[in-house]
Copies of this chain bind each other. A is one copy, B any other.
Amino acid sequence: MSPNDDQSHSATTIFDVARLAGVSHQTVSRVLNDLPNVRASTRERVEQAIRQLHYVPSQAARALVTRRSRTIGLVATGLPDFGPSSIVLSFNRSARAAGYAVITSNPADIEGATLRSASEVLIRQSVEAIVLLAAERGVLDAFDGWELGVPLIAVASEPRGRGVRVSLDQYGGARRAVGHLQELGHRDILHIAGPAGSMDAEERLRGWHDALSDGGMPVTEPLRGDWSSGSGHRIGRQLLAERVPEAVFVGNDQMALGFLHATQEAGLRVPDDISVVGFDDVPESAHFSPPLTTVRQDFTAVGQELMSAVLSQLRDEDSPVMSAMRIPELVVRASTRRR
């Protein structure tokens, strides 16, 4: 508002405000924290002084005395892929909306030691909770027997390890994908899975497997990719050199893209010669060649649920340990057709 009245404002304290407003520092504290017993006129004078001095309360001082940093730590792997990035984005926004700042750590790998040291840095920043976004099976084991001192909330699709878990129903999503293929009359349905050890990969694999065996269809060994389009391409090449399945359920959209690439190189047409279903529904999948039938994951919801899990955990320690998982929807486009 008014110009020329800032004095290197990192040095302005609650006492300066008090002096200017003609009250005690404690009264200023009261208005700062919306506590009662402050006359409206006094409050107004104080607020006026705050504005005039560009006063910003010191979070450090406040954290020191309240023992609440209003900060939560996020350990995230898998970036810059679309899914993880989307979850991080949504989580950051939800946290901010709840009045929390989030400190992010992106460890270089998912070794127990690396994860632990990333968390230690966060603990040192006195975060009030730690959120773990690392889809690998066993990452939670790294936290076993380690008294963090703060709640741990993880994105995990398997019911295992300590901490609170949040996820979407990968198994259910996979069943929908394969079910779609089955409804179209396909029986010979292969699966290009994500890396062994990824909880999501394993759950999708399980969904595919169960859908086939429940339908009395032959279950073959799944092929293993690493989520990258390159791996989808490579696997597709090898596979198609041997035989052409009726349909393929690919573990994510990137690998599906690589697989589509391989089909073209092999002179095959999708969906005429072979049906393909992906997983994730990244924004680009609508423009793949052909537009990809896939399973939509609501990453935004995951971020929001993470934050609400954090909040309920902060509120009382024994809130539910795993929230209900929504089943992702199938998005039918042009990469699948009736046999």
Contacts and interface: CB of A to CB of B under 8 A. Distances in A.
B108 A92 contact: no
B149 A125 contact: no
A260 B289 contact: yes
Interface string A49-68: 00000101111110110010
A42 interface: no
Interface in A212-237: 228-230, 232-233
Interface in A134-168: 147, 149
A101 B103 contact: yes
Contact of A125 (B8, B101, B286, B288): B101
A104 interface: yes
20 contacts: A10-B149, A58-B126, A59-B124, A60-B61, A71-B125, A80-B82, A80-B85, A82-B82, A96-B105, A96-B121, A101-B103, A101-B122, A101-B125, A103-B103, A104-B104, A228-B283, A229-B284, A257-B284, A257-B288, A264-B289
Given A10-B149, A104-B104, A105-B92, A59 B125 contact: yes
Interface string A62-86: 0110010101000000011010011
A67 B60 CA distance: 9
A33 B58 CA distance: 23
A9 interface: yes
Given A82-B80, A96-B105, A105-B92, A124 B57 contact: yes
A138 to B, nearest CB: 22
Contact of A287 (B57, B229, B286): B229
A89 B105 CA distance: 9
Contacts of A54: 147
B56 A60 contact: no
B106 A89 contact: yes
A301 interface: no
B80 A69 contact: no
A261 interface: yes
Given A80-B88, A257-B288, 15 more contacts: A9-B149, A59-B125, A60-B126, A71-B125, A80-B86, A82-B82, A85-B85, A93-B106, A101-B103, A102-B103, A229-B283, A232-B287, A254-B283, A260-B289, A261-B288
A6 interface: yes
Contact of A286 (B120, B149, B229): B229
Given A64-B64, A230-B283, A123 B289 contact: no
Interface string A277-296: 00000011011110100000
